[in-house]
Structure 1
């Protein structure tokens, strides 16, 4: 009975939120409700700037969901740790920047269903002939983005402290230092790394298999408004998966379908 009551409450909240979208003065054009969404604007190909416009897989997906729900998106740009801080502080409704669904984050937020899957992958300079496997990284320095789940996965994989982890505010600095051999390797999402290496012909190579594969979703606040947004986003993600638009969007930006977990991947 308690579970039934909670579900009913969430559905009523979603209905209230959606019905309010058409009210004048709710924010945005034509009375559309405004949702505040965070993205770095530096994350190719998920959320980046092209000719001054914010574009990317997560960006286009969010805009399509918002359009279908008659919302208007107000984009807020910051580094990843800053975005998560703004979300925690209530300044954002959600973040659209490949946010992995982890147990620690689930304690703070209610997540949408997964819309993509990312493996934490290590890369090194293509001229580093002595680094080809994860074992080769022992005693080395590995870069990662501050606040990223990939850094957390790195710590778990090398729990014996056999590597030194250096964190950066954004991935550009981490990647540049890796290519210039100021650090020995860099960890990020495998699909993102492959897309960027191909797009920019970067002198980087993969090191070993992904440490772990994690689902990616939208984090929402654990309150009535957050649960209503979560329910609304879930319906649209399911609809886009069913009609093929989600897969098409993935192929557009990554050249492959990352909207389903890889076969045999460790999660």
Structure 2
């Protein structure tokens, strides 16, 4: 998964490379992309608050990821085109050339073989969404053993939960997960700390909270989150990284993150975060 399971939608949800090209190029040519050099196609889910979601008022696609996408496209003098799809389809779209790139992926070794990485865009860490009353009985790391972890099969978060001894409750999408935590069908959701806080803040599902003091990172998360790009499109990778450097230097990334999260995620956090190394044998499947 994105080495993350998509954040759940605030309205009650919160949610590989063939040799086909997504814009073949050589080192001296501008990347073409799947729609030619007038457009750049971003794969996105459209159901992640605050990353990529539809405004309840205007129904337009908004979010920090969407705004950064548009800034990148603007800097490349191209039009940003969005194709909404689930996480597995995002990966396939980049690989088969149906999209040029996709954001908010962990820049992890899991993807290194099949995709090019952008520079780190977002620095974050994991947390646990639990029932507010008793914190789902999870007050220390050892309490996770035997608890039911809700998430998307095979994600970095479910792999970590499996490593920690949790029972996996895997979902095809984010729908219903918050309700299942609240009603006791599952015990916790391991995911991005800031995304989970948005779930608690905006979801109509009541009785949810973030487990206190249980923040973590794993080897599967890489240095942070950024864009995955077609393995052959080195020119696009170069251009995107140039734009990200500019956006960070001029404060645009900071402004966008503060707009959606109230905190600057373009730099590492100083929070106390425990590190775990998850062996490759854990697949997040059960």
Q: Which residue of 2 aligns with 1:17?
A: 30
- The answer to whether the Cα contact below 8 Å between 1:122 and 1:187 also exists between their aligned partners in 2 is yes
Q: Secondary structure at the match of 1:259?
A: coil
Distance 1:189 1:55, change over 3 A: same
Q: Does 1:41 align with 2:46?
A: yes
Cα distance change of structure 1 residues 245 and 15 upon mapping to structure 2, 3 Å threshold: farther
**Aligned 8 A contact 1:45 1:56 in 2:** yes
Per-residue deviation, 1:147: 4.4
Displacement after TM superposition at 1:44 (Å): 0.5
CA displacement, residues 23-45 of structure 1 (integer Å, 9 cap, x when unaligned)? xxx65xxxx62222111111100
Segments of structure 2 that go 5 or more residues without pairing to the other structure are 1-24, 276-286
Q: Is the 8 A contact 2:149 2:158 kept in 1?
A: no
> Shift in Å at residue 211 of structure 1?
2.6
**Correspondence for 1:120:** 126
1:229 to 212, 233, 236: 236
1:181 aligns with 2:184: yes
- Counterpart in the other structure of 1:101: 107
2:173 to 170, 174, 179: 170
* Aligned residues of 1:80 and 1:170 also touching (Cα < 8 A): no
**Is contact 2:49–2:63 with CA below 8 Å preserved after alignment?**
yes
CA-CA distance at 1:265 after TM superposition: 4.5
Measure, in 2, the Cα distance between the counterparts of 1:71 and 1:148.
Answer: 32
Partner of 2:64: 57
Give the Å deviation of 1:209: 2.2
Deviations 1:206-228 (A, max 9, x none): 224223064001011121xx211
Secondary structure, aligned partner of 1:260: coil
The one of the two structures with greater contact order (alpha-carbon pairs below 8 A, sep at least 6) is: 2
Give the Cα separation in 2 of the matches to 1:111 and 1:140. 34
1:152 alignment partner, SS class: helix
Give the TM-score of the pair, scaled to structure 1: 0.81
Relative to total residues, which structure has the larger helix share, 1 or 2? 1
Q: Counterparts of 1:105 and 1:246 in 2: how far apart (Å)?
A: 24
Distance (whole Å) between structure 1 residues aligned to residue 226 and residue 155 of structure 2: 14
Matched residues in 1 for 2:183 and 2:113: separation? 38
**Coordinate RMSD, CA, aligned:** 2.3
* Partner SS state of residue 236, structure 2: helix
Which whole-Å CA distance do the structure 2 matches of 1:180 and 1:55 have between them?
A: 31
Contiguous gaps of at least 5 residues in structure 1 = 1-11
User: For 1:217, which of 202, 211, 226 is the aligned residue?
Assistant: 226
Residue equivalent to 1:206: 210
Change (3 A) 1:186 1:60: same
Flag the structure with larger Rg. Answer: 1
Distance in 1 (CA, whole Å) between partners of 2:238 and 2:84 is 25
Task: Check whether the contact 1:153–1:212 (CA below 8 A) recurs between aligned residues.
Answer: no
Shift of 1:199: 3.0
1:176 Cα deviation from its structure 2 partner:
2.5
Verify the 8 A CA contact 1:81 1:147 in the aligned structure 2: no
TM-score by length of 2: 0.76
Equivalent-residue separation in structure 2 for 1:134 and 1:144 (angstroms): 18
